[in-house]
Amino acid sequence: MPKLASLDIDSTPMHAADRAARRERPRGPRGERGERGEGGSQVWDHGPAIQPVARPRVTEATEATMLALLHRAKPAGQGYSEAARRTETALCEVFRDLPAVEAYALEQRLGMGATGDVLVVAFGRLIPERRTRLVDYLRAVRRQAAALAGSAQESFPSEKRR
C-alpha cells in the first residue's frame, strides 16, 4: 500500500481564506464587533431590550410651594385645627393647577412613603384623615385633567379620518 503524503490543510487556499475571516470578526447590525462566548459562539451586545422611559416628575416649584405650606407656622391666636384646615385648602389650590402628568407623579411619590424624601416626610406629619382627603382630591384633579385632555383631543379629529 502506497504511503500517502501528509497534506498541510492550512496551506490550501480555502483554509487560508477561513483564517483571514476569523481574524476579521463579523460585525453586528450596528457595526460593533461581537465577543466570543463559551463554545466559540458569537455573542452580540445590543444593549437593554427595553429602553428606560423617563418617569414623570414633580417640578421644583410645586415641591417648594408644598414644602412652604407644610412648614408654615401656625399664626398666633389660631387653633391647630383651623391652621391645618387652611393648609389643606392651600394644598388643594396647588393641586388644582397641576397638569395630569405631574399630579400622577405627585400621587405616586406621596404613596410610596420614602423615608428620605423631605416632601413625603412633611406630608406624613398631617393626620391620616387629612392625608387621605388630600390624596383623594389629587386623584380627582388628575382624572379631571386627563378627561379634559382626552375631550380636547376628540374635538380635533386627525387629518387621517377625513
In a domain, 9, yes or no: no
DSSP 8-state assignment for residue 32: P
Distance of CA 109 to the CA centre of its chain: 12
Model pLDDT for residues 16-41, shown as the tens digit of each residue: 666 666 655 555 555 555 555 555 55
The CA-CA-CA angle for residues 42, 45, 46, to 5°, reads 125
In a domain, 135, yes or no: yes
Total domains in the chain come to 1
In a domain, 34, yes or no: no
Buried b (16+ CB within 10 A) or exposed e, 73-104: eeeeeeeeeeeeeebbebbeebbeebebbbbb
> What is the extent of the structural domain holding 123?
60-71+86-155
In a domain, 121, yes or no: yes
133: pLDDT strictly greater than 90: yes
Report the predicted TM-score, pTM, of the whole model to 2 decimal places. Answer: 0.58
Q: Are 133 and 95 in contact (CB under 8 A)?
A: no
Model pLDDT for residues 39-50, shown as the tens digit of each residue: 555 555 556 666
In a domain, 12, yes or no: no
In a domain, 119, yes or no: yes
Model pLDDT for residues 71-98, shown as the tens digit of each residue: 998 888 889 889 999 999 999 999 999 9
Q: Are 36 and 43 in contact (CB under 8 A)?
A: yes
Residue with cell 500517502: 4
In a domain, 127, yes or no: yes
Per-residue pLDDT at 161: 45
In a domain, 49, yes or no: no
**77 backbone φψ class: left, alpha, beta (φ>0; ψ -120 to 50):** left
